[in-house]
A and B are shown apart, each in its own frame.
Chain A
């Protein structure tokens, strides 16, 4: 008998399959949001580890994954700042940083929530409603964050 969750997932019904299919996308999404490839891999690993434990309780894995990645990236960003404040030392992790340039580099300099909106919108092709769900905010806030991000990027690239 097919379970309710299995019916809803559609693409994958086993965690192993879901994990294999979503891993690269999850890694890239987290790396883009954190601007750190190592952090992206760590975050993706942690999120999948958590999902594997709770797999039988998750009915909407894709929505869960998107939100968990966004939350974890946000937490990572916050923790990095906290650590920097505690240590009075900003560690430059040059080897781990995603080698951005030009416009993508400007994206990396955006505040986290603006950057998340840009990455989720223009990389992951998520709708405003989906982004709002991932960021736990109103669709109107997504619109506002997106428009502020585009304004900042326009200025950066001279458009």
Chain B
């Protein structure tokens, strides 16, 4: 009797071979995307036939060149002697699901509700070492949604987990071809999380679920500045995975002020902050110089640390040690295309120490471990590699996570020899938070904290609603409506809208101020710190438009209570120009690129409902042009 499995083999193969295999495009390596236009690059029918034959042969030979499935490195015995004074000791990694491992213990799965059906990735420890953040995609059917979520799980020192918090990322997507998971990185305050989407950067308030999106950004690196609420953003990964990563001006975003500004004239693709937040180290992208350079946090005093760090095909760029004295990076070595070694650079004098690929005992002899990425333990003593292993003359073995003491790198400990495939080209910012810090540990220094004066109280109060907060003064007074002098929170990024307001604005010393009326209340606006060229990514605000109106109007349905985005479009900002309100749900990819300008800053405070019905009120105003 024919089994169902046999029937499946027959049915699928019949189906596959009934498909007319299209000619393949010419293998022109200069074509970044081979393209969907079959035109002149298609081959002849005879060639197609030949390829089909070749394909059948190839199918028959499937796997002939593949490495066999890698067995776990069974010979590895966790070393219980590795101290972990400044860390909770748990390292998060992905093997199908999120797992935790620490020296001397077996890896364990971090299982929460929904883990069985979701795809999970990108574990990141909160700065205080008490919570694990990861991203997941839920739903697997073709009909149900496959939504992206961030999950935050309290984890005790013993590995026991608490009730998870799940934040839905409605509309989240990634650039074509990249790892589709949402992969966040914690801010020093342990509250905000940053992650990259499709041509934008998402900022998620994990206490309220509020989300801000910074458009027109395809970063290759996101790095929070220690001790502050500032996120440095750099690099352009292009529109899809086939595109090269390029350097861009480094942009710094402040959560509390909403300000986005360029860091001097620095251009980079990979970043790392010094642990005291005073200095940024950076490198260019794949097609840029590989010099490792430093710059002060205010963008001044650019200087070379070392020239020519060599080429790397994997890695997350330079990583500053928590002790501040060294920077680790990796570079190609050993005559392979995926074989890297790690170099430690002394920040004081630029001297370099090479750590060759560590070696352990494998089933059939010595095994070398080559890093995909390298980062530091929270106490700065140990390097953590996600790595692949290989014995001489054999195919690559398992992927794993190994701990390499920086000063005695021969004392390597394999924490696990079984991790999932490493997507070494996506979310390069995430691995630096793989290793959890010990709650309350302060030997290296206090945990990074945010200067309270930098943060609007309404952003800190966890009881504050994301949609109804007010400025500090308004909050004290219990106000729910805007008043003159209130700052307008810029929430989301609109693409198009049909609302235009008249405004009186003026510029003085680079700061633009003005007023407009909302629901009978005069609202003050402020815009400062002009930027240049089309790199401007306004964080919302007021559009002061030199043109006859928005470039395009659309039949937008704006609901009462919807968040609004107000964009400065032109610079220098003129007096008496018009203001356009944008609706955030309409700001997508290419549309956003049309909205360039140079005046990008608005003093903002918090999201709010504007008097319970902004557009209703707008319509009631005489001075508003609703064309």
Contacts and interface: CB of A to CB of B under 8 A. Distances in A.
B502 interface: no
B32 A49 contact: yes
Interface in B23-54: 24-25, 27, 29, 31-36, 51-52, 54
Interface string A1-40: 0011100111110011001111111011001100001001
Interface string B11-28: 111111111011011010
Given A27-B22, A37-B19, A57-B313, A8 B67 contact: yes
Given A46-B34, A78-B180, A103-B11, A20 B24 contact: yes
B22 A130 contact: no
Contacts of B51: 20, 23-24
Interface string A42-53: 101110111011
Interface string B47-71: 0000110111111011111110100
A54 B90 CA distance: 34
B278 interface: no
A22 B58 contact: yes
B240 interface: yes
A150 to B, nearest CB: 6
Interface in A75-103: 75, 77-79, 81-82, 85, 98-100, 102-103
Nearest to B180: A75
Contact of B16 (A28, A48, A133): A28
Nearest to B41: A45
Interface stretch (B186-194, B256-264, B334-342): B334-342
Interface in A108-122: 109, 111-114, 118-119, 122
Contact of B58 (A5, A24, A82, A157): A24
A11 B61 contact: yes
A156 to B, nearest CB: 10
B145 interface: yes
Contacts of A42: 36
B202 to A, nearest CB: 16
A99 to B, nearest CB: 7
A23 B96 contact: no
B552 interface: no
B142 A111 contact: yes
A102 B11 contact: yes
A123 B9 contact: yes
B242 interface: yes
Interface residues of A, number: 88
A28 B24 contact: no
B11 A72 contact: no
Interface string B146-161: 1000000000000000
B15 A60 contact: no
A4 B337 contact: yes
Contacts of A132: 96
Nearest to A114: B140
B141 A21 contact: no
A136 B420 contact: yes
Contact of B55 (A25, A68, A85, A100): A25
Contacts of A114: 140
B485 interface: no
A48 B27 contact: yes
Contact of B140 (A21, A56, A58, A112): A112
A122 to B, nearest CB: 4
B8 interface: yes
A104 B95 CA distance: 31
Nearest to B121: A136
A49 B33 contact: yes
B97 interface: yes
B58 A57 contact: no
B531 interface: no
B242 A46 contact: yes
A120 B26 CA distance: 27
Nearest to B15: A104
Given A75-B177, A104-B12, A138-B95, A112 B141 contact: yes
Contacts of A103: 7-8, 11
A133 B69 contact: yes
B163 interface: no
Contacts of B137: 78
Nearest to B148: A78
Given A62-B66, A79-B173, A45 B15 contact: no
Contacts of B14: 104
Contacts of B15: 32, 98, 100, 104
B119 interface: yes
Given A5-B337, A104-B11, A159-B4, A133 B58 contact: no
Contacts of A75: 176-177, 180
Given A45-B35, A49-B34, A25 B59 contact: yes
Contacts of A20: 24, 27, 51, 54
B389 to A, nearest CB: 13
Contacts of A40: 19
A58 B121 CA distance: 23
Given A15-B27, A78-B137, 4 more contacts: A5-B338, A25-B55, A78-B180, A85-B145
The 5 closest A-B pairs by CB, nearest first: A24-B55, A129-B69, A138-B96, A10-B65, A111-B141
